[in-house]
Structure formats: structure tokens, C-alpha cells
A and B are shown apart, each in its own frame.
Chain A
């Protein structure tokens, strides 16, 4: 059967499945694993388990490749020369990051969906311990003395400090928002953390992020290096002398009306350099005038400081930078060149096509080979760094056929459908979530209707979509509207749209960390729930039914799926005050709030943006009672 026919048959089956899902409410969930807490019932898991290699490491002696397979939830151990599989080690749910102990005897793996670290004995190649962490651990490093582990917790926005012998948590360090990637400086003195979500900033101002710098010996935060204009930062790497660091980042144009994509109209893809070699941060564009390095993620600096390698998940390539030429260019342009799309011609050597959604990369110790984890086609690309060519593609064990759901996921992450390949769905839905940004879309008018970008987990069965409820279903949301106003270019065919819709519908809410195990609630949550459901205010007066929380935010997902006229949040910038009640799914994670992102916190919804009490009766509540309400909302 031809590939095209196979695809048609498969997608026809997917369409039937989608229709069935719509009726039955069954959910397919790729990689989002098994129930992790009592009461966290996930109805179904896709039976096909793809490896989905996310990160790759070489053992300290260079003999083995360790591949973190997020989809199959295991660590693959491969012979680094012939790539034969030595062992497949099951770990926890949705592993996201890993690193070795200083002596290489242990491999630590963060399990992001169950808030643990798996400790693998690299001699036995088995998990010997599992330790608790903060919420959604995403990466881990050990300090060189081997006494402490540092774990970046994406949801709790902090860094757990664990005893490396017992796994007991010693302290938490406050990081930026979405703390996710940790890197130990070459001299072992400091640990650097980056963040996938922007820190809270003033309304309609450019996003700000940071590199949180931790003194490894003292386990204290000693610096916060600002990343101006960067909303999402990912891996960091250092030169061996420790004098130069580089981190990948997305530089969005969310405040510029998204009228067109040409000339970097939606995103710039950059790395930020920092360290003693520069004495400051320098943002370095990776894009060209008509081609983009969309969704930069992994970064590796060659041992001899000759090259920097960057993976771009959306563009499906690795960019190779001539580092001496880049440093020279920086010296010649002291005023910066972050917005110059022609700058990269002065330091980009080549761009090497790799597999689908390349993520983690690692260099061999001699710098001769670069290994790339291609998450969405279950391969590793092996690049000869002298030839700048892929010399081997290692297929990891797993399903050979691409399911409709998998195809939908591939579609979600690629940037190939947008004008000149600038953006994909994943640009604004980081790891299929949200971005914490407010965007200004063109059809509403210049400066009109700034809209908060919402979480898409649990989006299934919450139609209509958009704040104004103008899109009746996901295919409409992801189809012509997206083509016309986002991609600005011919997009996928109907079959692919069906697969994409299937994937988006499959995105289950991640486990809610504010819920106690076993459906228990804290007293504050219980009091907050009573406030949420109340019909009478504190003075004994009936609250108008339309002004009760549960009227608009009803149902299991916290939305009546209805549009309401003016809940007091509209501004002169809005074209309409008729807005849909948004779902409350994992609402604690998704600041800013309200349709225009004006409320930086849940509290501000009522303390600042509800003066007329149209958005619920709250003026009678004390500060403590409002806190209780927020505590309850965090459990949704």
C-alpha cells in the first residue's frame, strides 16, 4: 500500500475515532501517562507508546548514550559507537530531564507528571530510588561535591534542594516562572536556571524572563540575570572555561499587532550569550530574512569554543554558529542587533536538517559528534561536526506507523505550515500548554482586543472557543481561522486538520497539585468552595443568579460554555463586552487572567477589576475569605 493510501486509511480511521470520541467522551493521551494520584482518573491512554526522545546524554566515559524517552517513559541506554540498545530502564511518568552525578555512578531523572526524581544506578542500570520533588520537576543537576541535588520545578516556580544521599528535601529556592532547565557551570560553583514562562510584568509591556543563578555550595540564589523581551527560555550550555554561556529563547512580538508574519512579525528565535567573555547579555538572532530557526531549544558549545549548535524544534534543523565570528560581530556592534534578520549571515555557518521536533542535543567530548534527540519521529541524528552533516540516523525501538494522534502532535509542533516557517502551534502553547502572554490579533484592529492566550489542556468539550466564542469547534479554531490570521499561508489539508484536532482534544489537564490525595480538601479550600457555590451574601441577601460564581463557571470544567454580556471587565479597547466564561482548568497556573490578561493574579480579578461587582459578588468578602476563594479555585 502506498504511503499516501496508508495515510488516508489511517486518517479515515482517525476521523471515525474522532467522531466516536466526541460521542463517548473517551480521551486519548499521548505520553501523559498513568494516574499519578488517587482520584486522578484518566479515562484512557493511547495504546501506542512512542519513544519520543526528548533529551540525550553521553556517559562521562563516552561509551554509552542515554536517551530520555518521554513517550515510553524510560531511559534507553545505547552503545555510543554502534547504537545497539543495552538496556531500557522504566522510570516515572512523563520524564523530562536528566543528568549524571559527579562521579557518573548515578543518573537522575525528573518525572514531571508525578513530581519525583528517579535515581538510576549506572552500573546496575536500574532505578534504585525515587524521591519527591516540587511540582512538575523538569531538570536536575548535582553539585560537584555530590551532596546535593537541585531540581527545577516548572509549576511551583522554584528549585528543590535535595540531600543527594537520602533524597530528603532540604530547602526550596524561589526561581522565575516555569523553572525548567538547570545547568552546572564548568567549575561547579554555580547553577543556572531558565524558565519556560515569562515572569509577571506590567500590563501590555514586553515579557521579561531571567536566568536564576544559584551558589551551588551554599544553595542560595545569588543573581538573577534579566532576559529582556524573552518569554520562554530553554537549555543553557557553557564553554569549558566557563567564561561564556548561551541559552535559547523565544522573543515574541505579542504587543505588535499580528498583521503579517514577514520580517519576524510574530517571533524571533534567538540565543542569549552571557558570561565573563562579554560582561553583559547579548541577544543573538538565529533567523534570516525569509527563513526561521523556529522554537530553539537545545544548545551546545564546542569544547574549543569554535562552534555553537542550536536545535530548533519547529524548523526541524540544527543551526551551526561560528563562535569566533559571532564574538567579532558582537564587538563590532556594541549597540546590539537583536532585530536584524541579516545579522545571522555573519556568523551562521550552516543549518542542518534533522528529524521531527529536535530537542535535546549533546556533543561528544572531543566535539566531533553531535547527537540530536528528534522527539516526534523517534530518532537520534548523529552529526559529524567537521562535515556538518547527519552521518547516521538511529531509529529507536517503537511503533513504526504514525497514528493519527501522533500525526496531530507532529502537526502541532512543526512550523512548516506558517508563512516562511516562522511559527507553529507550539510557539504559543509551550509544551502544549499556554504562554502567559497577551496578544493583539489583526482582525480586531490595531491595538484592539488584546487577548490572553489560554491553556489548551482539557479544552475538549468546552466549545465555543475564543474569548468571544466565535469558533464553534476545534477544527474551526485550528482550521481556516488559523490559516488566515496566524499562519498567513496555506496550511494543512483536511486530514491533517482532523489529526491535529484529535491531538488537541486529547490534551488532558495535568494533575492538579493543589488537590490533596484522596479528594480531601483543606479547610481553606472547603471555605472557598462554599463561597464559590453560595447563593446568599454575608448580609443575607440573595445574590442574583447571574452574579453567582457557579452560574457562569458551572460544570466539571468550570464553564457554562455560554457567552455573557459585560461582567465588568471590558475596556475601551474591546470590540465587544460579550465574552465566554472560560474554563477553570488548572487556573492557578495560567496567569495573567481575564480576557485581556490585565489581572496579574487571581486576587486582582476581584480586588482591582471588579469594582462594580459584575464579576461575582465579592465586595462583602474579607481578605481572608477572598484568599479562601482563591485556594479553592486553585484546585480546579
Chain B
């Protein structure tokens, strides 16, 4: 029996449907604004992908909830999951398997006529697709070292088309670390929110990160690391809501740390859909063994009594996860890539002494760059001087794991990064400090390192190619 037929059997017997009457009346040609797509799965291992494993070991299936009734969205597939609605609300991107033996592939379905087309294929699993502006998408592909972020598409104003590398379409890796990176959402400012282990590239605690859609600018969303957090979704307000499992929390623009959300105790899967009236659709388990789809109205004002969770849809024996609303929604801004045509990158620290962990009282003497080789071993690429004001300028290897350590005069480590990060080929980036946190804006001065020389200390381990900083067309 296919998963579909099994689901239909179970849903006919035990599905509990509660009309979703709070949604706005916005109507599109594809579906009404009240429509929801949700993934139903007997087993949902929410963090399995962060370990490179299968989240839906017994399969999954997308349900379209329309007029209070749920029906399979892609009944001909053995499995489907990870719905993401196009900005015009007319199409749904998802990960699917036509047959049980198939790997997860990226598909798109038109809601109007249910026509299907495969967008991304591959030998390994390709999951969690998200629309990017300008006919692109981001997703996670299972590679030798785990799930990595990739982007593909045309980068033109037209809609997404199937990506065929054999026809010259470009698939662009966005992450360059061992371990797993899974996209959660595309923020309105154009950056991709993804989850990975902390410390990045070496740790296992789920954490949320950001990266531009060309793979540049990777950083932690916030630096108050510690608790596992995953399943981030951006609200219309710009806040990002995520889960710790038993609780919800948010990142909000004014704060450098997460803010708790006074939501009822439950087992939250992560990911939510915000309805036009401001209530949230969440996947949560309050009783029993499976998660249902619940609605919750967050408190509007501080101190206001939080409302209880209301079940919207429950199916016996199924977890209902990853809800999305089928409606037009705001398109994120496109990121205009400014990467230079180089094989390396340049990295500047304005003041390596600054850290939210406590400023160093004296400037370190040197900075050491390590890179990770193909076998996962750390390789010292060399050292560069740190100036008295804590600044340094280095040329680094690109598109591979790197990390810095600050050394004293004797070569002892005075501060070192716990994890790894990457910098894209052709990227030029500065850090305000070493783990200064996103709340710290730069002091306006010319770093001493630049007063001494504007030539980066080459730590690439190879001769720089012919390109020079001024070549890409100037400003």
C-alpha cells in the first residue's frame, strides 16, 4: 500500500478538521487565501537532517487543506514534503519521491491545474526547497559531507524554470563546511536563514545562521549561543520565530539576544505560518504521540494573557508539520552579488580585541589562519601580524572551511574561534571584532593595518592569481 492510500484510509477514519475561519478573504486564481499545505508523516524526526539522516523514515505526504477539508496534494507520489508557496501564491515547490526507491527531488506543482514538473534532480536527496527572487531557489543537497546549501535558477525577472546542469544551468553551492546546513526561510532582506550545528562546521547543537544568496556573508543570526534552536520562520514584522522544542522564542531587530515567547507548553516541531490576522499555525504535540496543526494567537501587548493552542487539523497516526499558507506574499529582495572574479577572498578585522565574550586588554601579536582539508584535518595556512589597534588584513582561501586564532608574542593562543566559517571566492568582508556580535557597529577610523599597507597578507597557501582588487570594474 502506498503512503497515499494509507493516509487516505486513516484520514477518512480519524481526521479531525476544524474550519480555519480566521483567514482573510484574499483570493487568487490558484486557491483561496484560506488554503493551507501541510506535511503529514507517521514519523517526523525534526532534527535528523542536521545529522544527515532521513526526517521522514516512513514517508510523508503533502495535504492541501481547502474549505476545511484535507486532500493529498500530490497523490501520485510515494512521498512529498517541504512545501513552499511561490510569491504569487499559484505554485508550490516541494521535495518529493515518485517511488519509494527514489531520492528526494525538488518538484513544483501548479495549484491551478495540478501540473507537475521536476525542478532539481540528483543522485542524492535534495530537500527543503525555498523560492528565491528572480527565478531562483535554494535547497539542501545531500553530499559526501552532509547536506549543503545550493542555489540554482536564472537570476532574471522571470519565474523559476527547471534547472538542468547538462543544459548549462548553474548550480551554485552556498555552504562550504562539513556537517549539514538546512534552509529554513528566505528573509525579506534577501538573506537565507538556515540551521546547522553550533559551533558551525564542528558542533551539533542546532543553531540559526544567515547567508546571502550568493553564499557570502555567512554569520550567526545572534551570538547568544547555547540552547538548541531550529525551525526559524520570519513573520511579516521581520521577527524570526523558532523553537527550542518545548518552547518558542524569537529574534527581533532591537535585541541582540533571543526573546522568549509566552506560548503554551507543547512539543513544537519548528516552522510556522502566519495568517493575515496575525495568528500562527504551528505544528505541536500537546497530548498523544503525534503533532497536530494548531492555531495560536500570540499576545499583542506585553503582559497580555496568552491564548491556548487551538487544534486546526489532526490526523490519527500522522504528524502534521511544516504548514504553509497558500496565498500571495511579500517577495524578498534580491541580493545583487558583488563577488569579484577571484579564486581567493580578502578579510579584514577592524579590531580583533573586541568580543562580546570580553575585550582583550592588549592586542594580540598575530593571527593564525587554519583551513580544513578534504579529510577534515585542520591545516595552518600561516600567520599575519595584528596591529596595535587590533586590526589585520589577510587574503584567505575561499569556498572552504577556515577559522582564526589570535596569538600572543610567544605564539600562544589568546583567543580562538570554536567553529569554522567560509568566505566566498571574490568576497571582501570585514569583522568589527572577533565574535563582536551583530549588535556591534564599526568604529569610524582607518585601521592601522591599512595605514601600513593595503596589500593583504597572503594566507591562501598559493600564489595569488592575476586579479587585483581594482579590476572588477571599479565603483
Chain A residues within an 8 Å CB radius of B254? 288-289, 342, 344-345, 348
Q: Tell whether A447 is near chain B: CB-to-CB under 8 Å.
A: yes
B190 engages A445 (CB within 8 Å): no
30 A-B contact pairs sorted by A residue (CB < 8 Å): A206-B444, A207-B444, A254-B444, A255-B444, A256-B350, A257-B428, A259-B348, A262-B217, A263-B432, A263-B439, A289-B255, A289-B256, A290-B238, A291-B238, A339-B441, A341-B441, A342-B255, A443-B338, A443-B470, A443-B472, A448-B454, A470-B473, A487-B336, A488-B335, A489-B189, A489-B333, A490-B333, A491-B336, A573-B454, A575-B474
The distance in angstroms between the C-alpha atoms of A144 and B368, with both chains bound, is: 65
Q: Supply 4 further A-B pairs (C-beta < 8 A) apart from A344-B254, A419-B189, A575-B469.
A: A442-B475, A447-B393, A488-B335, A575-B468
Asked whether B450 lies within 8 Å of A253 as measured between CB atoms, the reply is: no
By a CB distance below 8 angstroms, the chain A residues around B256 are 289, 341-342
Q: In the bound complex, do residue A445 and residue B428 qualify as a contact, i.e. CB atoms below 8 Å apart? A: yes
- Chain B residues closer than 8 Å to A166, beta-carbon distance: none
- B253 part of interface (Cβ distance < 8 Å): yes
A333-347, CB under 8 A of B: which get 1 and which 0? 000000111101100
Given contacts A260-B429, A290-B189, A342-B255, contact A485 B338 (CB under 8 A): yes
Question: B257 → chain A, closest Cβ, in Å?
Answer: 8
Q: How many angstroms between the C-alpha atoms of A480 and B338 in the bound complex?
A: 10
- Residues A561-583 near B (CB distance < 8 A): 573, 575-576
Interface residues of A in 235-283 (CB under 8 A from B): 251-257, 259-260, 262-265, 268
Query: Given A257-B428, A483-B336, A441–B444 Cβ distance below 8 Å?
Result: no
Given A204-B446, A290-B253, A468-B474, are A264 and B430 neighbors across the interface (CB < 8 Å)? no
Q: Is the CB of B334 within 8 A of A264?
A: no
A residues within 8 A CB of B428?
A: 257, 259, 442, 445-446
Interface pairs A-B: 9 shortest CB-CB:
A445-B469, A264-B441, A575-B470, A447-B450, A345-B254, A342-B256, A447-B454, A490-B334, A342-B439
Most B Cβ at <10 Å: residue of A253, A264, A342, A575: A342
Interface of B with A (CB < 8 Å)? 133, 189-190, 217, 238, 253-256, 333-338, 340, 346, 348, 350, 393, 428-430, 432, 438-447, 450-451, 454, 456, 468-470, 472-475
Bound Cα distance A534, B336 (Å):
49
Given contacts A263-B442, A419-B189, A573-B454, contact A490 B133 (CB under 8 A): yes
Chain A: number of interface residues, binned into ranges: 35 or more
Interface of A is mostly: loop
A623 interface contact, C-beta 8 A: no
- CB distance B470 to A444 under 8 Å? yes
| Cα–Cα distance between A451 and B473 once the two chains are bound (Å) | 16
Contact B444 A251 (CB under 8 A): yes
Which chain A residues have a beta carbon within 8 Å of chain B's beta carbons? 204-207, 229, 251-257, 259-260, 262-265, 268, 285, 287-291, 339-342, 344-345, 348, 419-420, 440-449, 451, 466, 468, 470, 480-481, 483-485, 487-491, 573, 575-576
Are A262's CB and B333's CB within 8 A?
Answer: no
A264 and B444 within 8 A (CB): no
**CB-based contact A446/B338 at 8 Å:** no
The residue in B133, B253, B445 that gathers the most chain A C-beta atoms within 10 A of its C-beta is B253
CA distance A190 to B410 in the complex (A): 58
Q: Is there an interface contact between B446 and A447, defined as CB atoms closer than 8 Å? A: yes
A340 — nearest CB in chain B belongs to which residue?
A: B439
Q: Which residues from chain B contact A348 at a C-beta distance below 8 Å?
A: 254
